[in-house]
Amino acid sequence: MKQNEILSNIRLNGDKIEFTSDDMMDEMGDNHISTSVDTPMRADAFDKSDEEKMSLIQDHFKAIMEVMGLDLTDDSLKGTPKRVAKMYIQEIFSGLNPANKPSIALFENKYKYNEMLVEKNISFYSNCEHHFVPIIGKAHIAYISNGNVIGLSKLNRLVQYYAKRPQVQERLTMQIGKELQAALGTEDVAIVIDAKHLCVASRGVEDDTSSTITAFYGGAFKEDKRKEEFLRYLELKTEF
């Protein structure tokens, strides 16, 4: 699609970008473009209870299966709409609900450890917001304490929280980085994410060998020396 065609299909609605062409929206998804650092949510996103949402999703997913011609009287399929609804709300998209955000307790850095701390190989499963198929990857996190430290497991939980929503990898990286900066009260935070996108592997170009790497560097990690130190740690073999 040419630039003038793209521009002709974009309009502004307040601070939001809207697209007037289905082809343009398809191209946005195929080109892995995100429109906001914040997950796009409507103002009424939590007016319905989880039970109400699951009931509606169950009905809608049942209709999708029926359109595809599946026999919902079959013992293997008849429970699928309910299972999918429960999975969406209570599991793979539970990070959409702020009530599920992990609490982050800080502790005084009494041992005066002033070098970077690195938590690497944090496994996560997310879902591409353009096609709702999995993103499977690992996150690597580093920070330098300015007086407080965070429990190691909270780093994993924070990654899982932001991963459990329809995502774009660039947004996921930024959300984790900015959340840690705010929680720790320091700019000295770095994130690297390496992930495989099934929207690339299982459809479209069907490339099963490529992965996507994104990074977030704040504060001291913008300096080449600190950045290189962090990346060297990621090369260490630490499997036991």
Residue 169 annotated among the catalytic residues of the structure: yes
Q: Is 32 annotated as catalytic?
A: no
> Catalytic site residue 60?
no
Element (H, E) at 87: helix 80-87
Active site residue 199: yes
Specify whether 131 is catalytic.
Answer: yes
Is 140 a residue of the active site?
Answer: no
Of 140, 130, 137, 121, the closest CA to residue 196 belongs to 137
- DSSP secondary structure string, 159-220? HHHHHSSEE-HHHHHHHHHHHHHHHHT-S-EEEEEEEEEHHHHSSTT--SS--EEEEEE-GG
User: Which residue among the candidates 58, 108, 199, 206 is catalytic per the annotation?
Assistant: 199
Of the candidates 27, 32, 119, 131, the residue annotated as catalytic is 131
Q: Which of 58, 160, 167, 169 is catalytic?
A: 169
Burial class (CB within 10 angstroms; exposed 0-12, middle 13-18, buried 19+) of 111: exposed
**Do 36 and 45 meet the contact criterion of CB atoms below 8 Å apart?**
no
Given 58, 130, 160, 167, the catalytic residue: 130
Token output for 120: 């690497």
58, 167, 175, 197: which is the annotated catalytic residue? Answer: 197
Catalytic residue among 128, 140, 167, 175: 128
Catalytic residue among 129, 179, 187, 229: 129
Q: Rounded to whole angstroms, how far apart are CA atoms 165 and 126? A: 7
How do 10-13 and 116-128 pair as beta strands? unpaired
Which of the residues are catalytic?
128-131, 169, 197, 199
